[in-house]
Structure formats: structure tokens, C-alpha cells
Amino acid sequence: MTRPPTDFTAEAFGPAPPPGFPVSAGAMIWDSAGRLLILDPTYKKGWTIPGGVMEANGETPWQACRREVFEECALTVERARLAAIDTRPATANRLPQLRLLFDCGVLSDDTFAGIRVSGEEIHGHALLPPAEALPLLRPAVRRRVASALASPGRCVYLEDGRPVPGVGAPL
């Protein structure tokens, strides 16, 4: 029986490299009134949360989350809890995707006073209670955020934004 490789170098996989697919990281950011920060992007329909795709330069998901939050709205997040791991299936036009969702906690009102959205990527922003924010979010983001909110303090595993039976339940 052949043992699987213990490292992920090209040599370990031989002529076929390991699969590559986009990884993104999003941020749930809250104000002191318990409202969620959502953004209105210029490049797609529907609202979203701050975040974006991890760069292939060695950036980690947490680094990507922090960079994207700063680029999109000039906010600095210093801490977070991993709230969800979501896989999106491949389609005829899209590779499979890995989506990480960080709950970055509450930022101060003074911090929110300094928010500046990137005019190239973002039309505007809103701080809304979750019940008002969720219907505005794009479907995949809505499912991910709603699942995370339904499981406070836990990291949820999702496939296409939906919980997977038998995963996450006590063993």
C-alpha cells in the first residue's frame, strides 16, 4: 500500500500538481449597537461583507481578510474568530472555492467614524441589524453569515453555504 505524501511539494505529487482553487476570506464586523457592516460592491449585484480572494503570494486567509477590509473600507481589524468554513462547488464556469468567514467582533464608534469605502470597488456601506442585513446579502454570503450567526461561538462547516449532516455534531 502506498502512503500518501506528507508534504505538499511538487515532488511529492509527481507530474500532477495538487489541485488549486480560489480561497477567500470575509469579515463580519459589528458596531456597538450590534449592527453588521455590509458593502454595496460596484462589480456585482447584491450587497456583501468586507473580504475577498487570497493572493497567491503566500498570503494567509487571515492576512487576506485584514488586507481586503482595509482596502475596501479603510478599517483595521486586529482580532477575529473563525466562524465558518464553506466550500462552493465547481460549475461549468467556476473552479471549486473555499470561503472562510471571520467574526471580527465589535469596533468602536470612533473607528466607524473613519470608514472610507473604495470608490473603485464599493458604492457605499451600511450598518444594519442582522435581520435587515441578511436579505440584502448575495445568496451564498447570506447563507454563510446566517449559519455562523445561528451557531455563536462555534466554527461551522458548510458546503455551498449549507450545514452538512453529521459534521459539527458531537461525536
pLDDT, tens digit, 9 for 90 and up, residues 73-115: 999 999 999 999 999 888 888 888 999 999 999 999 999 898 9
At 101, list the grid cell.
468567514
Identify the structural domains of the chain with CATH numbers, from first to last: 35-163 (3.90.79.10)
pLDDT score of 115: 94
pLDDT score of 8: 47
Give CA–CA dist 30/35, Å, rounded.
Answer: 5
Residue pair 47/134 in contact by the 8 Å Cβ criterion: no
pLDDT, tens digit, 9 for 90 and up, residues 131-143: 999 999 999 999 9
pLDDT score of 92: 85
Grade residue 120 by pLDDT with cuts at 50, 70 and 90: confident
DSSP 48-78: B-SEEEPPTTT--HHHHHHHHHHHHH-----
Distance of CA 137 to the CA centre of its chain: 13
